[in-house]
């Protein structure tokens, strides 16, 4: 059996086995890099079959992972849905730790592996379960909606989870179910502000930030508009509200992908993580992707080599205390059970109302 230090050859057999993948990634991966990636991809895909394993790959994975070994690719919501319905024995989460924990919460009997335990998230580390308990004491009777970018410990204190794809839908559902006009939406302040601009429900927010998206600002949008007047500008809802108000479209990573694939703009700017453009480019060769973009250091900890090691050594197993997992599952399952959101974002409302205030805890 191969281990993490084994070197594999770029043999004619390997080259032939991965030729269809090369066709998809060759605009973004150099032939020299491919000689290193291709043998790893061939090995990973063989071991997956042997072990009845699947790889859930987030949209921010590098293209050789996303197109080479991902069995299911998508945004946080899509990957959670796939985990819930998977019949694999092993799930390798090619993403960050909170995503792997979400899979473990939904599939307690499966082996969930993360290739690098250090793949964290600035939003997940911005809040603890104890913080949420204090928030609930301060706002008794109000529902707590928690972004999936949180630990299982935080989800366990939560009424329902949301992702950037369904946050407005979930907040409005919670307000209706609890019969209230205020909802706690934690921990991403910018997501909370962007949701507040799209609903009449009042939002109580926490001051967590995504270290990747908080760095974009309205000047970036103005600069791109000046340099490329025809380019369409898309932004993730974790960006500051001024960015979304100045952009042409706001949505989750999957919603941005759908937008580019469906509309094929000549030039596009994706104000999000850099690998998004590389991954969409495989299906949209006629679209020119322009900067700026930012790298997520946590997502970038996942590599083909550590995915191979994860499969071979069955490491690193993600565990969640069963009592905590039962409580967290209620919140995640409630979200998964809602119908998929019909509209990615009420974008005109963000533009018209982006100044709507939220109460910061
Ligand atoms: P999505 O749910 O849009 O995939 O976003 C996850 C994430 O971590 C974005 O920074
Ligand atoms: Fe977390 Fe931001 Fe990285 Fe997404 S991009 S995993 S929100 S730090």
Distance CA 22, CA 278 (A): 13
Going from the Cα of 144 to the center of ligand 1, the distance in angstroms, rounded, reads: 20
Neighbours of 72 (CB within 10 A): 18
Choose one of 76, 194, 211, 294 to mutate for the ligand 1 pocket test, by most ligand atoms within 8 angstroms of C-beta: 76
Angle (deg, nearest 10), helices 31-51 and 304-313: 20
Q: Give the torsion sign (CA, 3, 4, 9, 10).
A: positive
Token pair recorded at residue 12? 């004619």
The ligand whose atoms approach the alpha carbon of 298 most closely is: 2
Question: pTM for the whole thing?
Answer: 0.94
- Mean pLDDT for the stretch of residues 163-190: 96
Mapped onto helix, strand or coil, the DSSP state of residue 33 is: helix
Strands, sheet with 232-235, edge to edge from the N-terminal-most edge strand: 249-250, 232-235, 267-271, 288-290
* DSSP, residue by residue, 324-360: HHHHHHHHHHHHHHSPPPSSS--HHHHHHHTT---EE
What confidence category does residue 78 fall into, taking pLDDT thresholds of 50, 70 and 90? confident
Q: Note whether 21 and 41 are within 8 A (CB).
A: yes
How does pLDDT run across 262-273, given as a tens digit for each residue? 999 999 999 999
| Domain positions in the chain | 12-121+298-313
Mapped onto helix, strand or coil, the DSSP state of residue 4 is: coil
- Fold classification of 12-121+298-313 is Rossmann fold (3.40.50)
Above 80 in pLDDT, residue 76? yes
As a 3-state breakdown, the chain gives helix, strand, coil percent values, each rounded to 5, of: 45, 15, 40
- Mean pLDDT for the stretch of residues 83-87: 90
Q: Is the CB of 164 under 6 A from ligand 2?
A: no
**Of 225, 221, 185, nearest in space to 206 by CA:** 185
Q: Which residues contact 110 (CB under 8 A, 6 or more apart)?
A: 86, 88, 89, 90, 91, 103, 104
φ/ψ (deg, to 5) at 262 = -75, -40
Going from the Cα of 254 to the center of ligand 1, the distance in angstroms, rounded, reads: 9
How does pLDDT run across 294-337, given as a tens digit for each residue? 999 999 999 999 999 999 999 999 999 999 999 999 999 999 89
Mapped onto helix, strand or coil, the DSSP state of residue 315 is: coil
Q: Is the CB of 28 under 6 A from ligand 2?
A: no
How does pLDDT run across 182-192, given as a tens digit for each residue? 999 999 999 99
Which residues lie with the beta carbon below 6 Å from any ligand 1 atom?
59, 75-77, 149, 163-164, 210, 236, 238, 252-253
Distance CA 79, CA 93 (A): 9
Q: Can you tell me which atom of ligand 1 is nearest the CA of 96?
A: 8
pLDDT at residue 343 in the model: 62
Q: Can you tell me which atom of ligand 1 is nearest the CA of 256?
A: 3
Q: Is the CB of 96 under 6 A from ligand 2?
A: yes
**How many CA atoms lie less than 13 Å away from 234 in the CB half-sphere?**
27
Q: Can you tell me which atom of ligand 1 is nearest the CA of 76?
A: 2
pLDDT at residue 345 in the model: 65
Above 90 in pLDDT, residue 127? yes
Q: Can you tell me which atom of ligand 1 is nearest the CA of 296?
A: 10
Going from the Cα of 2 to the center of ligand 1, the distance in angstroms, rounded, reads: 33
Above 90 in pLDDT, residue 341? no
Name 112's bridge partners: 91
**Of 133, 126, 59, nearest in space to 99 by CA:** 59
pLDDT at residue 348 in the model: 79
Q: Can you tell me which atom of ligand 2 is nearest the CA of 188?
A: 7
pLDDT at residue 4 in the model: 47
pLDDT at residue 234 in the model: 96
**Of 81, 9, 86, nearest in space to 48 by CA:** 86
Distance CA 110, CA 90 (A): 6
Q: Where is 310: in which H helix or E strand?
A: helix 304-313
Q: Over the range 277-287, which residues count as b (16 or more CB within 10 Å of their CB) and which as e? A: bbbbbbebeeb
Q: Which residues contact 326 (CB under 8 A, 6 or more apart)?
A: none
How does pLDDT run across 222-234, given as a tens digit for each residue? 999 999 999 999 9
pLDDT at residue 7 in the model: 59
Q: Which residues contact 16 (CB under 8 A, 6 or more apart)?
A: none
Q: Is the CB of 273 under 6 A from ligand 2?
A: yes
pLDDT averaged over every residue in the chain: 94
Residue nearest to ligand 1 atom 6, measured at CA: 76
Tokens 């974008």 identify what position?
347
pLDDT at residue 6 in the model: 52
């Amino acid at each position: 059996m191969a281990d993490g230090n084994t070197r594999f050859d770029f043999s004619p057999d390997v080259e032939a086995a991965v030729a269809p993948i090369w066709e998809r990634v060759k605009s973004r991966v150099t032939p020299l890099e491919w000689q290193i990636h291709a043998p790893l991809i061939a090995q990973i895909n063989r071991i997956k079959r042997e072990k009845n394993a699947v790889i859930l790959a987030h949209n921010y994975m590098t293209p050789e992972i996303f197109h080479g070994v991902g069995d299911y690719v998508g945004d946080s919501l899509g990957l959670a849905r796939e985990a819930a319905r998977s019949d694999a024995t092993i799930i390798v989460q090619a993403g960050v730790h909170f995503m792997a924990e979400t899979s473990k919460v939904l599939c307690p009997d499966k082996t969930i592996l993360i290739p690098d335990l250090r793949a964290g998230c600035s939003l997940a580390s911005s809040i603890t379960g104890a913080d949420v308990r204090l928030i609930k004491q301060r706002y008794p009777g109000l529902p707590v909606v928690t972004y999936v970018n949180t630990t299982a410990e935080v989800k366990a204190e939560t009424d329902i989870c949301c992702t950037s794809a369904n946050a407005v839908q979930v907040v409005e559902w919670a307000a209706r179910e609890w019969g209230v006009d205020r909802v706690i939406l934690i921990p991403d302040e910018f997501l909370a502000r962007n949701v507040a601009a799209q609903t009449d429900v009042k939002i109580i927010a926490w001051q967590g930030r995504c270290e990747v998206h908080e760095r974009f600002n309205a000047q970036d949008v103005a600069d791109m508009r000046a340099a490329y007047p025809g380019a369409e500008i898309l932004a993730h809802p974790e960006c500051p509200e001024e960015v979304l108000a100045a952009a042409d479209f706001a949505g989750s990573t999957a919603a941005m992908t759908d937008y580019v694939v469906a509309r094929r703009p000549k030039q596009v700017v994706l104000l999000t993580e850099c690998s998004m453009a590389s991954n969409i480019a495989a299906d949209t060769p006629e679209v020119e992707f322009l900067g700026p973009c930012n790298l997520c250091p946590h997502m970038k900890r996942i590599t083909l080599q550590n995915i191979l090691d994860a499969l071979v050594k069955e490491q690193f197993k993600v565990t969640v205390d069963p009592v905590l997992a039962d409580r967290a599952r209620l919140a995640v399952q409630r979200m998964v059970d809602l119908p998929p959101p019909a509209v990615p974002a009420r974008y005109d409302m963000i533009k018209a109302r982006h100044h709507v205030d939220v109460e910061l805890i």
